[in-house]
Homo-oligomer: A and B are copies of this chain.
Amino acid sequence: MAKGKLRSIAVMTGGGDCPGLNAVIRAVAKTAINKYGLDVWGIQDGYLGLIEDRMELLSYDDVSNILTRGGTILGTSNIANPFRFSVKVGNKPQSKDVSSNCVKALKARGVDALICIGGDGTMASAAKFAKKGLVVMGVPKTIDNDLYGTDVTFGFNTAVTTATEAIDKIHTTASSHHRVMIVEVMGRYTGWIALYSGVASGADVILIPEIPYRLRKVCEYAVGRSRRGRRFSIVVVSEGALEKHGRMVVKRRISSSPDPIRLGGIGNKLAADINKETGLECRAVTLGHVQRGGTPSPYDRALATSFGHAAVELLAEGVKNRLVVLKGGEISSIALSRVAGKIKKVPRNHRLIKAGLAIGTSFGT
């Protein structure tokens, strides 16, 4: 797209819910309408709406008063992949590439560029659309904070705040009884939420996927506290935390479906394991979806506004096929192709791990 030729953009939200989506949509639409006089199409329900050609022009009023609202006014969908869309042929489900239809639908409406707000999966498809000639701009979204290329994603601060406030509440209960309280927080592949909420709430033990834990170490720690007269221990554990036996990390199947009906995740398992090993009374709480919802924190509202604004500015400057990121406090961008399939893990020498170890927190090692 030649610089200055932008007349119409579309915007969509993909993947799981995340506080701040509406703040991005608002900033995208207001910048586009207010500063550049663009048409802004809102695509419904993520890639599913794009596939089914469901989109509507967003007015200034449509995006007023949505800054503080959780969820997304556009709707989202976890499953739809335009490059491998599930369709039924006769009675048999088949995968079909419907991406060309998507591109046509956008062209038919005169859309010059597509802003995709989403995580890993959404960006993978966005990168493929870019290869097909569509002008795309990605905005990183995951409460897990594990998207490669950006220091931080919006939604993460809200999730940490929600988790910390829950652990704060559990803290008071734990301290009234003699108990080990286990709190399972989100983080399938990385421990960002557990690390930040664990340090912020003064957890005694923090278990994250990046540092497989030894049950024995966790138990010794809890028993040691009990012996020193501490009445309770708080364990914060990522849903994707892994146990280590000898030199072997125990593989645990985490359902590929993003939000299964849980009949017992790592939190419950740990409670049973620790109780069995130590005899200490244990309770597990799984925070679950509460972490994904609600009004975004002020931090996330500001960050999401920056991201949404930058996405339009970059397109207006003729930049394309990149992901908007925050690096060292400044907005910049990175090629979508460089992001694909990567994940940002908690480094072993992260300042919060070092601080945690120094003040006596156990990481199960």
Residues of A within 8 A of B (CB): 13, 17, 19, 21, 26-27, 30-31, 34-35, 65, 67-72, 75-78, 151, 157, 160-162, 164-166, 168-173, 175-177, 181, 196-197, 199-202, 231, 259, 261-264, 268, 271-272, 275, 282-290, 292-295, 297-299, 301-302, 305-306, 308-310, 312-313, 327-331, 351-352, 354-355, 358-360
Residues on B with C-beta less than 8 A from A306 are 351-352, 355
Residue among A30, A197, A358 with max Cβ neighbours from chain B (10 Å) = A358
Which residues of B sit under 8 angstroms from A330, Cβ to Cβ?
A: 351
Contacts of A34 in B (CB 8 A): 358-360
Which B residues are in CB contact (< 8 Å) with A177? 17, 75-78
In the assembled complex, which residues on chain B have CB atoms less than 8 Å from the CB atom of A199? 301-302, 305
| B259 A71 Cβ-Cβ under 8 A | no
| Chain B residues whose CB sits within 8 angstroms of the CB of A287 once the complex forms | 290
Among B17, B30, B261, contact of A271 (Cβ-Cβ < 8 Å): B261
In the complex the two chains form, is A301's CB within 8 Å of B200's CB?
Answer: yes
Q: Would you give the shortest CB distance from A129 to chain B, in whole angstroms?
A: 22
B284 touching A261 by the CB < 8 A rule? yes
Residues of B within 8 A of A200 (CB): 67, 298-299, 301-302, 305
A350 to chain B minimum Cβ distance, whole angstroms, is 10
Chain B min CB distance to A149 (Å): 14
Q: How many copies does the complex hold?
A: 4
List 10 A–B pairs whose Cβ atoms lie within 8 Å, in order of A's numbering.
A13-B176, A17-B177, A65-B175, A67-B200, A76-B177, A162-B169, A165-B298, A173-B289, A261-B271, A309-B358
Residues of chain B contacted by A231 (CB below 8 angstroms): 75
Q: How far is the CA of A301 from the CA of B65 in the complex (A)?
A: 21
Give 7 closest A-B pairs by Cβ, nearest first: A70-B172, A169-B293, A169-B294, A328-B328, A71-B172, A200-B298, A30-B359
Q: A297-B297, A331-B351 are in contact. List 13 more A-B contacts (CB 8 A).
A: A30-B358, A34-B359, A71-B175, A157-B298, A169-B289, A173-B289, A173-B292, A196-B302, A199-B305, A200-B301, A262-B284, A305-B352, A310-B355
Q: Chain B residues near A352 (CB, 8 Å)? A: 302, 305-306
Find out whether the CB atom of A68 lies under 8 angstroms from the CB atom of B168.
yes
| A312 / chain B contacts, CB cutoff of 8 Å | 358
Residues of B within 8 A of A262 (CB): 268, 284
Contacts of A77 in B (CB 8 A): 177
Q: Which of B169, B268, B292, B308 meets A70, CB within 8 Å?
A: B169
Write the chain B residue with the least CB distance to A160. B298
Chain B residues with CB under 8 Å of A26's CB are: 359
Cβ-neighbour of A309 out of B30, B261, B355 (below 8 A): B355
Given contact pairs A75-B176, A261-B283, A299-B299, A293 touches B170 in the complex (Cβ within 8 A): yes
